[in-house]
Structure formats: structure tokens, C-alpha cells
Amino acid sequence: METLDSARFSKAEQVPLRTLIDELLQEQQSLSAVERFSQRHAGDIIPAQQKYYRDLIPLSTPGPGEQYAFQVNLDICTGCKACVSGCHSLNGLDEGESWRQVGLLVGSEESEPYQQTVTAACHHCVEPACMHGCPVAAYDKDFSTGIVRHLDDQCIGCQYCVLKCPYDVPKYHAKKGIVRKCDMCQSRLKVGEAPACVQACPTQAIQITIVKSDEIRLASRPAQQMIAGAFDSSYTQPTTRYHSRKSVPGKIRPADAYQLRLEPAHYPLVFMLVLTQLSVGLFAVQIVNSFCSLSGNGAGMTLLALAAALLGVISSTLHLGRPLGAWRAFLGLRRSWLSREILIFGAYVPAAIFYTALQCLPEFIMPMRSSVTWVLIVSLLVFGFSGVFSSVMIYADTQREFWRLSTTTWKFFGTTLILGAAAAALFSPSLLWVGVVIVLLPIKLTLECDIFRHLQDEGTTSLSHTARILQGTLGRLVMLRFGLAALGLGSLGMEMFSGDSLILRGFAFICLLCGEWLERVYFFRAVKAPRMPGMAGN
């Protein structure tokens, strides 16, 4: 849309000038650098950069008990961050993607003025947590080089390695539905070329060396860390070595230590955890209910419990970037709690289906019905509770403090019992299950409040980090969670006096279910994920 009337200008005036505009526009689109200037190095096979990096990579390959490792000379790393860009460009990564990251360490109040840039990529650990956590064996620690390689085509996008790695190395690529990470440019190393970051460092601060695995093991005693701000090395035994001859002030911290960072909510997992726990709890209560010959609609209970199990499992597949590869989940059984959880719930669901069918069809005649029922009851309880336990272990195994074993255990089993009892109360006029909820829920809520004790922590502990998020950014969510729980509790309290009101019980159940969901949302969002030192203001 033009506001100027070009017709105002005479035709005669326009013609030659129009031609000039067209000519210039056309010229702008022509590219002639190749024709105009001589071509050099066209046939060069030997990399021109080799003269700069020749001394930065080992001459030999690692021997038995040895592996490649990054070595960073902190004294000559001056914060230019070219390693990050170099990795991105030389590896053809997607926009914004790089296997290197750069952070900053700064001095504290009492120290001399101090700052130090810290560059980090994958540490190609001796005991890679990513690999041990992977349910489908999509990680491979190369036997001869020690490089921890990610098999992109094997990955199902469960992102458990992202939770497992304490250095924030594996990065989820949502578009491709998989995780990708640094492979130390193994194809370059194989032919005597330096990895991209080594090639790109203007001051030659990054080097590849050969290290002895035993020495790394020895250097990775509990409470040792690669560098200030890094996670306890004993967990994964990282191989990167940071060297400095400078005196470092006693108290230094990552520049982002105060940053309250929210982690992803992983909603499919939130739903999956709460629903599977509801299912296990409800089946258990139903079994106890019938075992104690209490009144109630047992079939109804089993149907709801089965529905929860199915929804939970379906929800969990929505979490996967490439669910079709999930059949390989048994490959990680030896080390991965996720693999175990998948297999256990995989067995739980058919048991639940058969048990529910038997409960719903009391007239159905089949041989050995009672023994089959017994087998199913035992399977349901064993698979159910061990399934919940493996859920607990998945998170406890990440070494994140907010997810430690004790806390996660009472949270997950608390949800199991509370929601199981609350759901059972919908089908049984007995006040026993209402009473169970009234007793258990306040205990769980009290335990949940315990985190706020850490607001008083000295310095920045990871639990105080979580507590501050729960008090600040996620304050409303936490209020809602406790509000819903109180509402549910209040309804059940009234129910104790008023008798058998399905509306009150139903309302209470929905409040409690939503409350548990919210609790699980901030279970994910408020956890402090360990990572290498980051930058200020990011």
C-alpha cells in the first residue's frame, strides 16, 4: 500500500531511473565471489588448522585402563567463549545448540577481587550416570577411548539422562524427540584432528589428554569436586581436569548460585505418578476391604483402579519423544530404575486387567478361580508396590536433594495410601477409609511443610533454593495445593459426622487428587538440578 502517488511523476522521468533500480536490485542478488577471486586450498586434504592444535591432542590412543579426557587450563581461559560457538558451527548443530557451555566463578564478600570463566562440555565420566539411567541402552562408553557416546537412533526421548547427569550435559531436542550430547568429536580424534572446541580456543586453553581410569576413581572420593560449584565427583567420576596455578580465594561461588531456576514440570509424568499411585493404593484397599469382608462395591473400586492405571501408563508414553522404541526398555534393567519401573508397571497392568475382570464378573465360571485370584492378588500387590518403589528410586537415584530417598518414599507411598483410601471411600459406606485419610493426610502435609525449614539455611543450599522457589515463584501453587487438601480434609471431616454423602466424598476425592497433582508439579519444578557454574543474569 503506497501513500505516495507515483503517477505524479512524469513517465519520461521514470523510465531510466526505474531501469537503474531494477539493475541494482538484480545486481544485489548476484553472487560472484567465487568467479572473481582465485580459489585457494581447494585440494587441501590436511586440515589447515592442524599447525595450531597439533600439540593439544595426544599422539597415541588410550591403552587398557585409560581413556581420553578434556583438560582445561583455567589460567589462560579468559572468557571469550569461542569454544561454544566453535562447537556449534563445526558440528552442524541446530540454532542455539552447543555441547559446550561457559559459566563464571566469582569471589565472595571477604575475598580478593576474583573471577574465573569455566568452560565445560561432557565430562565423559568413568561411571556415567546418564548411561546407567538410560532404560534403552542408548549410551555407549567406548571400550577403547572411554568416550561416552549417545546413540541418537536408539534414544526414545525419555530424558531420564537429563535428570541423571549432574552436569546438565545431555540436552533434549524437542523437535527431534531425542537427547543429543558431546561425543568429544570422536570422528575427528580418530583421524588425528582436534575436537571443535579445542580447535576454536584462541588461547589453547582446552586440550585432550589420556587419563588412567584408576586415577580418576581415586580422585573422585566423596566430597571431591572438579571445580568449585560442580557436583560431588564420587557420583559419576568425571574425567575433565581443571588446572590452575593461581591462588584461588577460599570462598568462591558460581555467579548464578543465587538464581532461582525452575525446572520443567513434565506434566505427563506428574499425571502418571499420581494415577499409578492411586491405582496401586485403590487395588490394595479393595483387597483389604474384601479380605476384611467390609461392605462396599469392590467391582467399582477395581474398575476405577484399572482406569487410573491405564490412564497413568498412557500418560507416561506422552512424555516420550519417540515412544515407538520403548519396547527396548528392558535393555537397561541391570542399572536403570526407569527400565525397572517400565517393566514392573508393564506386568502390573495385565494383572490389574485380569483381577478387575474377575471382580466384575463374579458369575464367570473358570477352573481354579480362587487360586488364580490369589495369584493375581499377590502379583498386583507385589508389582504395584514395587512399581511405586521403583518410581521412588528413579528420582532418588538422581542424587537431587529434594528428591532424596526418604522424602520421595513417604511422598509417593503417602499419595498411594491417601488416594487409595479416599477413592475407596467412594465405594464403601464404611468410615474406616475416610478415617485413614483424615489421619494420613495431615501427616503428609506436615512432612511437606518441612522443606520451609530450609529458608533459614546458611548460604545457598539446594534445599533452601527449593524452599525459596516454593515460597516465591510457586507460592500460589503451594497455597492452592494446601487449600485443596484442607478443603478435602474438611469435607471428609463433615462426612464423619453427617454419614454417607457421596457428594461430600466425591468432592473430597477430587480435591485430594488435584492437590496431589499440584504437589507433584512442584516436586518437579522446584527441585534444584545440579549443573556446572553458570553465568550471572541468565
Q: Which parts of 498-527 interact with other proteins (CB under 8 A)?
A: none
Beta carbon nearer to other proteins, 325 or 420: 325
Nearest residue to 71 via CA among 222, 218, 219, 197:
197
Among 288, 294, 311, 331, binds other proteins (CB under 8 A): 331
CB atoms within 10 A of CB 313: 18
Residue 204 in contact with other proteins, rule: CB under 8 A: yes
Nearest residue to 274 via CA among 419, 155, 106:
419
Among 64, 96, 362, 459, binds other proteins (CB under 8 A): 96
Residue 1 in contact with other proteins, rule: CB under 8 A: yes
Among 260, 310, 347, 487, binds other proteins (CB under 8 A): 260
> Distance between CA atoms of 5 and 230, rounded to whole angstroms?
66
Residue 14 in contact with other proteins, rule: CB under 8 A: yes
Residue 257 in contact with other proteins, rule: CB under 8 A: yes
> Distance between CA atoms of 470 and 477, rounded to whole angstroms?
8
Residue 108 in contact with other proteins, rule: CB under 8 A: yes
Beta carbon nearer to other proteins, 39 or 446: 39
Among 9, 334, 374, 455, binds other proteins (CB under 8 A): 9
Pull the grid cell for residue 382. Answer: 507385589
Provide the minimum distance between the beta carbon of 253 and other proteins in the complex, in angstroms, as a whole number.
9
- In the numeric block, the cell 525419555 is attached to 158
Provide the minimum distance between the beta carbon of 334 and other proteins in the complex, in angstroms, as a whole number.
14
How far, CA to CA in Å, does 30 sit from each of 34, 40, 203? 11, 22, 38
Q: Which parts of 69-88 interact with other proteins (CB under 8 A)?
A: 75-76, 78-82, 84-86, 88
Residue 32 in contact with other proteins, rule: CB under 8 A: yes
Among 42, 223, 324, 365, binds other proteins (CB under 8 A): 42
Beta carbon nearer to other proteins, 47 or 506: 47
Compute the Cα dihedral for 346, 350, 351, 356 and give only its sign.
positive
Among 10, 11, 60, 109, binds other proteins (CB under 8 A): 109
Residue 152 in contact with other proteins, rule: CB under 8 A: yes
Instruction: Name the CA radius of gyration of the chain, rounded.
Output: 30
Residue 537 in contact with other proteins, rule: CB under 8 A: yes
CA–chain centroid gap for 128, Å, is 15
How many binding residues for other proteins (CB under 8 A)?
A: 102
418, 281 contact by CB (below 8 A): yes
Provide the minimum distance between the beta carbon of 136 and other proteins in the complex, in angstroms, as a whole number.
8
Q: What is the DSSP letter of 176?
A: T
Beta carbon nearer to other proteins, 151 or 314: 151
Provide the minimum distance between the beta carbon of 188 and other proteins in the complex, in angstroms, as a whole number.
5
Residue 28 in contact with other proteins, rule: CB under 8 A: yes
Nearest residue to 376 via CA among 354, 403, 402:
354
Paired with 241 in beta bridges are 71
Q: Which one of 183-191, 300-308, 337-345, 445-453 is the stretch in contact with other proteins (CB under 8 A)?
A: 183-191
- In the numeric block, the cell 557436583 is attached to 231
Among 137, 147, 284, 342, binds other proteins (CB under 8 A): 137
Q: What is the DSSP letter of 232?
A: B
Paired with 252 in beta bridges are 107
Residue 202 in contact with other proteins, rule: CB under 8 A: yes
Among 56, 62, 71, 117, binds other proteins (CB under 8 A): 117
Provide the minimum distance between the beta carbon of 92 and other proteins in the complex, in angstroms, as a whole number.
3
Residue 458 in contact with other proteins, rule: CB under 8 A: no
Provide the minimum distance between the beta carbon of 172 and other proteins in the complex, in angstroms, as a whole number.
13
DSSP 344-403: HHHHHHHHHHHHHHHHH-TT---TTHHHHHHHHHHHHHHHHHHHHHHHHHHHHTTT-GGG
Among 123, 132, 171, 188, binds other proteins (CB under 8 A): 188
Among 209, 234, 244, 259, binds other proteins (CB under 8 A): 259
Beta carbon nearer to other proteins, 209 or 473: 473
Alpha carbons within 13 angstroms on the beta-carbon side of residue 346 total 12
> Distance between CA atoms of 184 and 194, rounded to whole angstroms?
9
Residue 432 in contact with other proteins, rule: CB under 8 A: no
Cβ burial of 383 (10 Å; 0-12, 13-18, 19+) is buried
Residue 324 in contact with other proteins, rule: CB under 8 A: no
Residue 342 in contact with other proteins, rule: CB under 8 A: no
401, 462 contact by CB (below 8 A): yes
Provide the minimum distance between the beta carbon of 294 and other proteins in the complex, in angstroms, as a whole number.
48
150, 183 contact by CB (below 8 A): yes
Q: Which residues of 443-476 are buried (b: 16+ CB within 10 A; e: fewer)?
A: ebbeebeebbebeeeeebebbbbbbbbbeeebee
